[in-house]
Copies of this chain bind each other. A is one copy, B any other.
Amino acid sequence: MSDDLDTGAENTWCTGCGNFGILAAVKKAVKKLEENGLSKENLVISTGIGCHGKIFDYLNLSGIYSLHGREVASAEGIKLGNPKLKVVAFGGDGDCYGEGLAHLLFAAKRNMDITVIVHNNGAYALTTGQASPTSPKGFKGPATPKGSVERPIEPLTLLLSAGATFVARGYAGRVDHLSKLIVEGVKHPGFAHIDVLQPSVVFTDYYDEYNELVKKLEEPEETISKAMQLAIKTDVLPIGIFYREEAPVYHEELMGDMNPVKDRYKREKRIELIEDMLGVE
């Protein structure tokens, strides 16, 4: 796949990895957003560390390859630095639901206007398959050879509890559907979370199961509580937008129309203001 969203960097994901589906969906979504008038010059990404994070190298978009678990904080900083930018953070389940969980929940709480996409493969893949926060009980990995003793978290209910205003689930095996979710997420004014079921062919090859269980949602639920009911389902795995709500976004509440980068005072003005404050005559 060589296009203007491609960097030419060698792709080192395993053949068949769900990450390819996510990459394809992102590219599609960016094209679509461009058609809708969002120039990709204004799109900035951040990524965590893990197999998922490698998407940084494969997407010809500006941004930062952040630390394990910190991509959401990085994204928030970018947004606050220049609110004109659209910011998308890519995380892993270990990364974003484990190491960096607090950033995610607080970004949701304050309705920070960013989009978070979590490559949820139920494992710490890049570090050879340890159990992650979303691994099922009994999951065998090198740190749990007899099976993990912990129950998994259900990320969407947590996010809904934290106050996320856009909560969705996608599946790496449904590229078009996922790309639409991403478009909607980016367009959503406020915090948008997209959890993506992402099989790791090496550690969690759940394609068959997912293909059988995923079920597209028509409409978001009306209430948080209904959305939560949907999220904890296991007989089917609903994909789509679970919940969506408009609410004031953080940067506008904090700074109104001000843009730290664009509206920076000139040196003279700053000096004048400080002189005033200091009482310099």
Complex CA–CA separation, A150 to B250 (angstroms): 7
* Range of interface residues on A (Cβ < 8 Å): 20 to 34
- A229 close to B (CB within 8 Å): yes
- A15 close to B (CB within 8 Å): no
| Chain B, Cβ-Cβ closest to A253 | B149
For A254, what are the chain B residues with a Cβ–Cβ distance below 8 Å? 149
Among B150, B151, B161, B247, contact of A161 (Cβ-Cβ < 8 Å): B161
A163, B151: Cβ atoms closer than 8 Å: yes
Q: How many copies does the complex hold?
A: 2
**Residues of chain A in range 121-166 having any CB-CB distance to chain B below 8 Å:** 133, 149-151, 153-154, 157-158, 160-163
Complex CA–CA separation, A270 to B153 (angstroms): 37
Q: How far is the CB of A132 from chain B (nearest CB, A)?
A: 12
Q: How far is the CB of A59 from chain B (nearest CB, A)?
A: 28
Complex CA–CA separation, A161 to B150 (angstroms): 15
Q: How far is the CB of A254 from chain B (nearest CB, A)?
A: 5
Q: How far is the CB of A105 from chain B (nearest CB, A)?
A: 7
B225, A158: Cβ atoms closer than 8 Å: no
Which residues of A does B touch, CB under 8 Å? 101-102, 105-106, 109-111, 133, 149-151, 153-154, 157-158, 160-163, 225, 228-229, 247-248, 250, 253-254
